[in-house]
Amino acid sequence: MINPLVIPELRELLREQDKDTLTEVMADLHPASVAEFSEGLSVEETWQLLNYAPIERQAEIFSFYSLGKQVEMVSGIGRERMSQLLEIMSPDDRVDLLKRLDPEVVESLMPLVAKAERQDIRHLLSYPEGSAGSVMTTEYATVPAEMTASEAIEYLRQVAPYRETIYYVYVIDEDRHLIGFVSLRDLILARASALVREIMHRDVVSVRVSEDREEAARLLARYDFLAIPVTDEQNRLVGIITHDDVIDVMQAEATEDALLMAGVSSIEENYLEADFTTVWRRRAIWLSALFVAELFTFTALASFEDAIQAVVALALFVPLCISTGGNSGSQAATLVTRALALGHVRPRDFLRVLRHELLMGLALGVTLGLIAFVRAVLTPHSVLGNADRWMLALVVSQAVAVICLWGTLVGSLLPLLFKRLGFDPGYASSPFVATFVDVTGIVIYFSIAKLYLL
């Protein structure tokens, strides 16, 4: 890899207007590398730098900047330049950018863009966020079934500059229905006179334009494809999703899931540069909601206040009981969510999972109960107060065992239930479910305590 430039060097070259060096750098380096080392330049400097590359390459480099930088570059001196780039950028990249721009800016850009591109943009912008349509590109290659392999290769050679990929070519009939696909490898391996019809794969895996983008990612990953075609309700080809977009989708979805669980899903800006009050408001809303939910632990404990009054030592084991439910629950939830993702378990296996986790929860509960028993028996005399050592140990160990069983059952069955209801099974690992297990754990613990001690 060529050693990338550092910002001061780059600024020096720009100031000196060193055309030879800059043109060479822009031509030789991968567009992603250029974007990476120039990300730190100001908007004006970046536009200056891009001047040293032909317009097609400018569009490529521009697509590799972070979306935040892209948005910045459109403002100010960028508007006029941008409309040129928009015509050349690949349809999915430009729609990603336009979605992030102020609607007024988009409207001011649109008249500057050629009519065909404008229609394509409006069309792609109309697909809902998260759908296959929202991540597809319309720059795919198609051939008729009656073309020969050598004609098809010659055709691909001509259209290559305007297509996202020429490695997969889709075969459509006169109504644009998808009837097959061939790879460039197939075309190259075939005899020159072979018809596309003879060599094409008829078992085409595709997604509907309205389907979840995750389904497109799952299928592409499953079949090791380079691209997956997207069709409308009439099975007409409307776009393709390429392997690199699937990787982006996978990263975006993984991040989305993690952030959702931590209640920061709507913070999209650069962490250190985002507006403080906005971030505070978003984080505070989530933490406050969880805090209010967790207030039920207070209510639950208050209703057992008589038991705590009678045997204060009981209160000391509350955090232990709560965490037992949380840990056993999250373990079971993770295992079942993963088994669902791998297809080892389906929602209709509910009873099998129930039986399995009932036994497992009991076995785990007994294990933890034994540890709890030993620890409770060793409670120092000073702390014990008027409580009987053995009785306390019996209560705590039984409570730990039952709560472990309960957490395991809730954690393992909720993902199946969520999946059944059409939600993401991952919600079973959400902190709200954890709060529910916390509260019920307290109730279980003190109910057992009341049986023995009061």
Q: Scan residues 296-335 and list those touching a second copy (CB under 8 A).
A: 297-298, 301-302, 305, 308-309, 312-313, 315-320, 322-324, 327-328, 330-331, 333-335
Q: What is the dihedral of CA 58, 64, 69, 71, to 10 degrees?
A: 70
Read off the amino acid at residue 33.
S
Site string for a second copy, 351-390 (x = CB under 8 A): -xx--x--xx--xx--xx--xx--x---xx-xx-x-----
Binding a second copy by CB under 8 A: which of 338, 388, 421, 447? 338
Shortest CB 344 distance to a second copy, Å:
5
DSSP 428: G
Shortest CB 332 distance to a second copy, Å:
8
The residues in 35-64 that bind a second copy, with binding defined as CB under 8 A, are 36
Binding a second copy by CB under 8 A: which of 92, 96, 120, 438? 438
The residues in 195-224 that bind a second copy, with binding defined as CB under 8 A, are 201-206, 220-224
Distance of alpha carbon 234 from alpha carbon 175, whole angstroms: 10
Reported for 107-111, long-range contacts at CB under 8 A and 24+ positions apart, including other chains, are 108/79, 109/74, 109/79, 109/82, 109/83
Closest CA to 83 of 118, 51, 52: 118
Binding a second copy by CB under 8 A: which of 14, 200, 228, 339? 339
Cβ nearer to a second copy, comparing 113 with 426? 426
Distance of alpha carbon 325 from alpha carbon 440, whole angstroms: 9
Binding a second copy by CB under 8 A: which of 32, 125, 421, 451? 32
Q: At what angle do helices 115-125 and 91-100 cross, to 10 degrees?
A: 70
**Look-up of token digits 């979605």:** 99
Shortest CB 408 distance to a second copy, Å:
9
**Helix H or strand E segment including 208:** strand 207-208
Alpha helices in 262-346 (DSSP H): 276-303, 305-310, 318-342
Shortest CB 126 distance to a second copy, Å:
26
Shortest CB 175 distance to a second copy, Å:
19
Cβ nearer to a second copy, comparing 105 with 308? 308
Query: Left (φ > 0), alpha (ψ -120 to 50) or beta: where does 229 sit?
Result: beta
Residue 329 tokens read as 């629950």
Binding a second copy by CB under 8 A: which of 110, 156, 179, 377? 156
Shortest CB 331 distance to a second copy, Å:
5
The residues in 113-132 that bind a second copy, with binding defined as CB under 8 A, are none
Binding a second copy by CB under 8 A: which of 280, 390, 423, 452? 280
Shortest CB 108 distance to a second copy, Å:
29
The residues in 2-31 that bind a second copy, with binding defined as CB under 8 A, are 2, 28-30
Shortest CB 230 distance to a second copy, Å:
14
What is the b/e burial string over 266-278, where b = at least 16 CB atoms within 10 angstroms of the residue's CB?
A: eeeeeeeeeeeee
Considering the rule CB under 8 A, would residue 290 count as an interface residue with a second copy? yes
Considering the rule CB under 8 A, would residue 417 count as an interface residue with a second copy? no
Considering the rule CB under 8 A, would residue 150 count as an interface residue with a second copy? no
Size of the site for a second copy (CB under 8 A): 122
Task: Give me the half-sphere count of Cα atoms (radius 13 Å) on the Cβ side of residue 382.
Answer: 0
Three-state SS string over 113-178 comes to CCHHHHHHHHHHHCCCCCEHHHHCECCCEEECCCCEHHHHHHHHHHHHHHCCCCCEEEEECCCCEE
Shortest CB 252 distance to a second copy, Å:
11
Query: Do 320 and 383 touch, CB atoms closer than 8 A?
Result: no
Distance of alpha carbon 1 from alpha carbon 363, whole angstroms: 55
Q: Which residues pair with 201 in a beta bridge?
A: 181
Cβ nearer to a second copy, comparing 113 with 442? 442
Shortest CB 402 distance to a second copy, Å:
15
Cβ nearer to a second copy, comparing 113 with 387? 387
Cβ nearer to a second copy, comparing 77 with 390? 390
Distance of alpha carbon 164 from alpha carbon 47, whole angstroms: 25
The residues in 391-410 that bind a second copy, with binding defined as CB under 8 A, are 400, 404
Considering the rule CB under 8 A, would residue 344 count as an interface residue with a second copy? yes
Read off the amino acid at residue 32.
A
The residues in 220-279 that bind a second copy, with binding defined as CB under 8 A, are 220-224, 226, 243-244, 246-248, 250-251, 254-255, 258-259, 261-264, 267, 270-273, 276, 279
Considering the rule CB under 8 A, would residue 172 count as an interface residue with a second copy? no
